[in-house]
Protein backbone atom coordinates (compact mmCIF):
# COMPACT_ATOMS: atom_id res chain seq x y z
CA UNK A 1 0.00 0.00 0.00
CA UNK A 2 1.25 3.46 -0.88
CA UNK A 3 2.16 5.82 1.92
CA UNK A 4 0.39 9.17 1.57
CA UNK A 5 1.77 12.61 2.41
CA UNK A 6 0.41 16.14 2.44
CA UNK A 7 3.66 17.45 0.98
CA UNK A 8 6.54 15.83 -0.92
CA UNK A 9 9.55 17.84 -2.03
CA UNK A 10 13.09 17.45 -3.32
CA UNK A 11 16.19 18.51 -1.44
CA UNK A 12 18.51 17.55 -4.31
CA UNK A 13 21.09 16.70 -5.21
CA UNK A 14 20.23 17.94 -8.73
CA UNK A 15 17.38 18.49 -11.17
CA UNK A 16 16.69 14.78 -11.60
CA UNK A 17 15.10 14.43 -8.15
CA UNK A 18 12.43 17.03 -8.77
CA UNK A 19 11.94 15.73 -12.32
CA UNK A 20 11.33 12.22 -10.98
CA UNK A 21 8.84 13.48 -8.40
CA UNK A 22 6.95 15.49 -10.99
CA UNK A 23 6.89 12.56 -13.39
CA UNK A 24 5.45 10.39 -10.61
CA UNK A 25 2.87 13.12 -9.81
CA UNK A 26 4.26 13.58 -6.31
CA UNK A 27 5.36 17.21 -6.65
CA UNK A 28 3.09 19.87 -8.12
CA UNK A 29 5.03 23.11 -7.56
CA UNK A 30 8.58 24.44 -7.72
CA UNK A 31 10.61 24.64 -4.50
CA UNK A 32 14.03 26.17 -3.71
CA UNK A 33 16.30 23.14 -4.24
CA UNK A 34 14.75 21.91 -7.48
CA UNK A 35 16.98 23.17 -10.28
CA UNK A 36 20.41 23.72 -8.77
CA UNK A 37 23.38 21.70 -7.54
CA UNK A 38 26.16 21.85 -4.96
CA UNK A 39 26.49 21.32 -1.22
CA UNK A 40 25.24 17.94 0.09
CA UNK A 41 22.36 16.74 2.24
CA UNK A 42 24.05 17.98 5.43
CA UNK A 43 24.61 21.44 3.97
CA UNK A 44 21.08 21.64 2.62
CA UNK A 45 19.63 20.57 5.96
CA UNK A 46 21.51 23.49 7.54
CA UNK A 47 20.00 25.82 4.92
CA UNK A 48 16.50 24.61 5.80
CA UNK A 49 16.89 24.99 9.57
CA UNK A 50 18.26 28.51 9.05
CA UNK A 51 15.06 29.28 7.10
CA UNK A 52 17.07 29.82 3.89
CA UNK A 53 19.12 32.74 5.26
CA UNK A 54 21.48 34.11 2.57
CA UNK A 55 20.12 31.55 0.13
CA UNK A 56 20.85 33.76 -2.88
CA UNK A 57 22.21 37.07 -1.57
CA UNK A 58 23.90 39.04 -4.35
CA UNK A 59 27.05 39.65 -2.29
CA UNK A 60 27.63 35.88 -1.98
CA UNK A 61 27.44 35.12 -5.71
CA UNK A 62 30.42 34.56 -8.01
CA UNK A 63 30.39 33.69 -11.70
CA UNK A 64 30.95 29.95 -12.19
CA UNK A 65 30.56 29.11 -15.90
CA UNK A 66 28.32 29.51 -18.95
CA UNK A 67 25.90 26.66 -19.66
CA UNK A 68 25.59 26.49 -23.44
CA UNK A 69 22.83 23.89 -23.58
CA UNK A 70 20.40 26.03 -21.57
CA UNK A 71 21.86 29.44 -22.52
CA UNK A 72 22.45 30.54 -18.94
CA UNK A 73 25.29 31.85 -16.83
CA UNK A 74 25.83 29.84 -13.67
CA UNK A 75 26.58 31.55 -10.36
CA UNK A 76 28.03 29.88 -7.28
CA UNK A 77 27.00 30.97 -3.79
CA UNK A 78 30.16 31.12 -1.67
CA UNK A 79 28.15 31.11 1.56
CA UNK A 80 26.15 27.90 1.11
CA UNK A 81 28.01 26.19 -1.78
CA UNK A 82 24.97 26.06 -4.09
CA UNK A 83 25.29 26.74 -7.81
CA UNK A 84 22.42 28.35 -9.71
CA UNK A 85 22.82 27.17 -13.30
CA UNK A 86 19.31 27.55 -14.75
CA UNK A 87 18.42 31.09 -13.73
CA UNK A 88 20.67 33.88 -14.98
CA UNK A 89 20.39 34.79 -18.66
CA UNK A 90 23.64 34.20 -20.52
CA UNK A 91 25.77 37.22 -21.36
CA UNK A 92 23.90 39.68 -19.15
CA UNK A 93 25.38 41.52 -16.21
CA UNK A 94 24.39 40.19 -12.78
CA UNK A 95 23.05 43.63 -11.90
CA UNK A 96 20.51 43.28 -14.73
CA UNK A 97 19.28 39.79 -13.92
CA UNK A 98 19.62 39.42 -10.16
CA UNK A 99 16.38 41.03 -8.98
CA UNK A 100 14.05 38.81 -11.00
CA UNK A 101 15.94 35.65 -9.99
CA UNK A 102 15.98 36.69 -6.33
CA UNK A 103 12.23 37.30 -6.38
CA UNK A 104 11.64 33.90 -7.98
CA UNK A 105 13.54 32.11 -5.24
CA UNK A 106 11.82 34.14 -2.55
CA UNK A 107 8.50 32.87 -3.94
CA UNK A 108 9.77 29.28 -3.93
CA UNK A 109 11.10 29.58 -0.38
CA UNK A 110 7.85 31.07 0.89
CA UNK A 111 5.86 28.44 -0.99
CA UNK A 112 7.81 25.63 0.64
CA UNK A 113 7.72 27.04 4.17
CA UNK A 114 3.99 27.80 3.84
CA UNK A 115 3.32 24.30 2.50
CA UNK A 116 5.23 22.73 5.40
CA UNK A 117 3.29 24.88 7.87
CA UNK A 118 -0.02 23.64 6.43
CA UNK A 119 1.01 19.97 6.17
CA UNK A 120 0.72 17.29 8.81
CA UNK A 121 2.91 14.75 7.00
CA UNK A 122 5.93 15.56 4.83
CA UNK A 123 8.25 13.41 2.71
CA UNK A 124 11.70 14.69 1.79
CA UNK A 125 13.44 13.02 -1.14
CA UNK A 126 17.19 13.23 -1.79
CA UNK A 127 18.87 11.47 -4.72
CA UNK A 128 22.64 11.54 -5.01
CA UNK A 129 23.77 11.82 -8.63
CA UNK A 130 24.83 8.50 -10.20
CA UNK A 131 28.41 9.72 -10.55
CA UNK A 132 28.77 10.61 -6.85
CA UNK A 133 32.24 9.53 -5.74
CA UNK A 134 31.54 9.31 -2.03
CA UNK A 135 28.14 8.89 -0.38
CA UNK A 136 27.25 10.26 3.02
CA UNK A 137 27.36 7.82 5.92
CA UNK A 138 24.17 6.72 7.64
CA UNK A 139 25.18 8.63 10.78
CA UNK A 140 25.66 11.91 8.89
CA UNK A 141 22.33 11.53 7.09
CA UNK A 142 20.59 10.75 10.37
CA UNK A 143 22.17 13.71 12.19
CA UNK A 144 21.28 16.16 9.41
CA UNK A 145 17.72 14.85 9.12
CA UNK A 146 17.18 15.12 12.87
CA UNK A 147 18.03 18.83 12.66
CA UNK A 148 15.17 19.26 10.19
CA UNK A 149 12.87 17.19 12.38
CA UNK A 150 13.60 19.35 15.41
CA UNK A 151 13.07 22.52 13.38
CA UNK A 152 9.58 21.35 12.37
CA UNK A 153 8.86 19.39 15.54
CA UNK A 154 5.07 19.51 15.17
CA UNK A 155 5.20 17.70 11.80
CA UNK A 156 5.59 14.06 10.83
CA UNK A 157 8.59 14.07 8.47
CA UNK A 158 10.12 11.13 6.60
CA UNK A 159 13.14 10.94 4.33
CA UNK A 160 13.94 8.65 1.41
CA UNK A 161 17.62 8.87 0.48
CA UNK A 162 19.07 7.26 -2.67
CA UNK A 163 22.76 6.49 -3.20
CA UNK A 164 24.39 4.99 -6.31
CA UNK A 165 26.10 1.64 -6.60
CA UNK A 166 26.39 0.69 -10.25
CA UNK A 167 27.55 -2.84 -9.39
CA UNK A 168 24.16 -3.85 -7.96
CA UNK A 169 21.52 -5.50 -10.14
CA UNK A 170 18.66 -4.51 -7.81
CA UNK A 171 17.97 -1.72 -5.35
CA UNK A 172 19.06 -2.52 -1.81
CA UNK A 173 16.83 -1.01 0.89
CA UNK A 174 17.17 -0.59 4.63
CA UNK A 175 16.08 1.74 7.41
CA UNK A 176 18.56 4.15 8.95
CA UNK A 177 15.91 5.07 11.52
CA UNK A 178 12.14 4.91 11.91
CA UNK A 179 11.75 7.89 9.58
CA UNK A 180 14.62 7.36 7.13
CA UNK A 181 14.76 4.81 4.30
CA UNK A 182 17.97 4.45 2.34
CA UNK A 183 18.03 2.90 -1.12
CA UNK A 184 21.29 1.91 -2.79
CA UNK A 185 21.55 0.67 -6.36
CA UNK A 186 22.13 1.39 -10.02
CA UNK A 187 19.88 4.17 -11.29
CA UNK A 188 22.32 5.57 -13.84
CA UNK A 189 20.93 6.29 -17.31
CA UNK A 190 21.34 3.34 -19.64
CA UNK A 191 22.03 5.60 -22.63
CA UNK A 192 25.72 5.71 -23.54
CA UNK A 193 25.20 9.22 -24.93
CA UNK A 194 24.05 10.70 -21.61
CA UNK A 195 26.29 12.60 -19.23
CA UNK A 196 27.68 10.79 -16.20
CA UNK A 197 25.16 12.33 -13.80
CA UNK A 198 22.09 11.43 -15.87
CA UNK A 199 19.57 9.09 -14.21
CA UNK A 200 17.27 6.35 -15.44
CA UNK A 201 14.15 8.50 -15.29
CA UNK A 202 11.70 5.63 -15.78
CA UNK A 203 13.27 3.57 -13.00
CA UNK A 204 13.07 6.47 -10.52
CA UNK A 205 9.53 7.32 -11.54
CA UNK A 206 8.34 3.74 -10.99
CA UNK A 207 10.26 3.42 -7.73
CA UNK A 208 8.61 6.53 -6.28
CA UNK A 209 5.18 6.07 -7.83
CA UNK A 210 4.71 2.56 -6.46
CA UNK A 211 5.60 3.60 -2.91
CA UNK A 212 4.14 7.04 -2.32
CA UNK A 213 1.13 9.21 -3.04
CA UNK A 214 0.40 12.90 -2.61
CA UNK A 215 -2.84 13.96 -0.95
CA UNK A 216 -4.54 16.62 -3.03
CA UNK A 217 -7.87 18.44 -2.78
CA UNK A 218 -10.62 16.77 -4.82
CA UNK A 219 -10.95 19.84 -7.04
CA UNK A 220 -7.26 19.56 -8.02
CA UNK A 221 -7.67 15.87 -8.89
CA UNK A 222 -10.72 16.60 -11.04
CA UNK A 223 -8.96 19.47 -12.85
CA UNK A 224 -5.97 17.26 -13.65
CA UNK A 225 -8.19 14.49 -15.02
CA UNK A 226 -10.04 16.98 -17.25
CA UNK A 227 -6.75 18.48 -18.42
CA UNK A 228 -5.42 15.02 -19.32
CA UNK A 229 -8.56 14.34 -21.37
CA UNK A 230 -8.22 17.69 -23.15
CA UNK A 231 -4.54 17.16 -23.98
CA UNK A 232 -5.25 13.75 -25.56
CA UNK A 233 -7.24 15.48 -28.32
CA UNK A 234 -4.37 17.81 -29.33
CA UNK A 235 -2.99 16.55 -32.68
CA UNK A 236 0.62 17.63 -32.14
CA UNK A 237 2.69 15.13 -30.14
CA UNK A 238 5.23 17.83 -29.20
CA UNK A 239 2.49 20.17 -27.98
CA UNK A 240 0.99 17.37 -25.86
CA UNK A 241 4.40 16.68 -24.31
CA UNK A 242 4.97 20.37 -23.57
CA UNK A 243 1.59 20.69 -21.84
CA UNK A 244 2.06 17.48 -19.82
CA UNK A 245 5.41 18.78 -18.62
CA UNK A 246 4.06 22.26 -17.90
CA UNK A 247 1.19 20.92 -15.76
CA UNK A 248 3.20 18.07 -14.19
CA UNK A 249 0.97 15.35 -15.61
CA UNK A 250 3.63 12.64 -15.88
Position 226 pLDDT exceeds 70: no
- Please state, as a whole number, how many other Cβ atoms lie within 10 Å of the Cβ of residue 192: 5
| pTM for this model (two decimals) | 0.88
Percent of the chain predicted with pLDDT > 70: 90
Q: Can you tell me the mean pLDDT for 174-189?
A: 97
Q: Cβ of 89: how many Cβ atoms within 10 Å?
A: 13
Which pLDDT score is estimated for 238? Answer: 77
Q: What is the pLDDT of residue 248?
A: 58
Is the pLDDT score of 225 beyond 80? no
What's the rounded Cα separation, in Å, for the pair 201 and 79? 31
Amino acid sequence: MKKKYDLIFSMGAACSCSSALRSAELQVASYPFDWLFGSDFCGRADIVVKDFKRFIDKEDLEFAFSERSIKCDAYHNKYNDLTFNHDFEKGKNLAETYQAVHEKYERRINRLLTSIAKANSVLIVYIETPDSVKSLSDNKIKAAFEKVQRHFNDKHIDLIYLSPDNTLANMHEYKISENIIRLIGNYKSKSVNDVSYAVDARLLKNLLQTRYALRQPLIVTIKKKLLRMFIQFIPSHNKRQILRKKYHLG
